[in-house]
Chain A
Amino acid sequence: CRISSDGKPEKFQPPPKPIIIDKQKQKEERRFLSPEFIPPRGRTDPLKFYIERKDMIQRRKTFHIPEFYVGSILAVTTANPYASEKASRFVGICIQRGGKGLGATFVLRNIIEDQGVEIRYELYNPRIQAIEVLKLEKRLDDNLMYLRDALPEYSTFDVNMKPVSHLDHEEIPVNKLQVRMKPKPWSKRWERPKYNVKGIKFELPEKKMKEAQKWSQPWVEFDMLREYDTSKIEEKIWKEVSEELKK
């Protein structure tokens, strides 16, 4: 019993309510549909995409392709007849995810012995034996090609790093890192608005930044012919894919 400072009996404080975490009850599962399932805009027969999706789901049933985003660190082991033990492992940060359907690719970048190396892997290539996600996170941009012109410390990742466990089922951490660049010239003029890069800390003078805004195209955002609303298509494909995978 607590002795109050007044000497009079304190008001009864009920004990804190226990927080019940019901693990058996299904939490709101995070929906992640890999971007290569969404068909590109065009006039091709949807039957082609349906057959391709069937093949993709078939491959996913035999080989687990984890969820990852541009900016997460992956380790890929591929079958290689010229490597020792016939398998080679490469660790790197995913800088780009391209292609649709079975030809979907992702590019991993790492710096080994002061030499920058990038490898483009196909997600559905049978030579790939394992894909592990060492660190699952997102970055401010969809395309991290500017890492080629950034200081090398931002692209170096330890080959033997341990996988960082991703705890929450709901949120994916967004790394709001602003990368510092090497001195100009760069491979592309990243300060221009067409690349829409948010993850660079530009240390250029104000005059250069203003001059880069000359190439902005503010009408593109309102162009109705360039619109491609994928929300309904995604819903349909998500239902289809999740049902097939549960079987």
Chain B
Amino acid sequence: SVTGACQAIQKLTRVRVVDNSALGNTPYHRPPKCIHVYNKNGIGKVGDKILLAIKGEKKKALIVGHKMPGPIMTPRFDSNNVVLIEDNGNPIGTRIKTPIPYILRQKEGEFSKVLAIARNFV
């Protein structure tokens, strides 16, 4: 992305899809943007679900890393990373190459399938 450090993920933030799904990797003239955050406040942190607008379609996604510094001892990534997800929580892609923070393992119940396809942990 071109803008400076952004304060976590909210409506209209451009995100980077990290899994190997077809939707996330085919080029399009507009970058994928967040249009809604499923949270009481409109700010999405690691482990929150958001609604993404990709290639003219609406898709849910899970935030796996953002540029804003979080709690101490947690990693801060250089780009806002997101994994495409279905409504029931199943990931669309089959592999995630980029490192995922260990904190996601806390909510193992909802994201066990996403953690299963992740390769590197930070």
Query: Which residues of A line the B interface, CB within 8 A?
Result: 78, 80, 82-83, 88, 90, 105, 112-122, 125, 127, 148, 185, 187
Contact = CB atoms under 8 A, between A and B. Distances in A.
Nearest to A155: B78
6 closest A-B pairs by beta carbon, nearest first, are A116-B78, A82-B105, A82-B102, A115-B98, A118-B76, A117-B75
B113 interface: no
A172 B77 CA distance: 31
B73 A112 contact: no
B121 A122 contact: no
A80 B77 CA distance: 19
B102 A115 contact: no
A116 B16 CA distance: 13
Q: Is the interface of B mostly helix, strand, loop or mixed?
A: loop
A118 B70 CA distance: 11
A118 B97 contact: no
Interface residues of B, number: 24
Contact of A119 (B74, B79, B121): B74
Contacts of B103: 82
B72 interface: yes
Contact of B120 (A80, A112, A118, A125): A112
A115 B5 CA distance: 15
Contacts of A125: 72-73
Interface string B66-110: 000100111111110100000000000000011100110110000
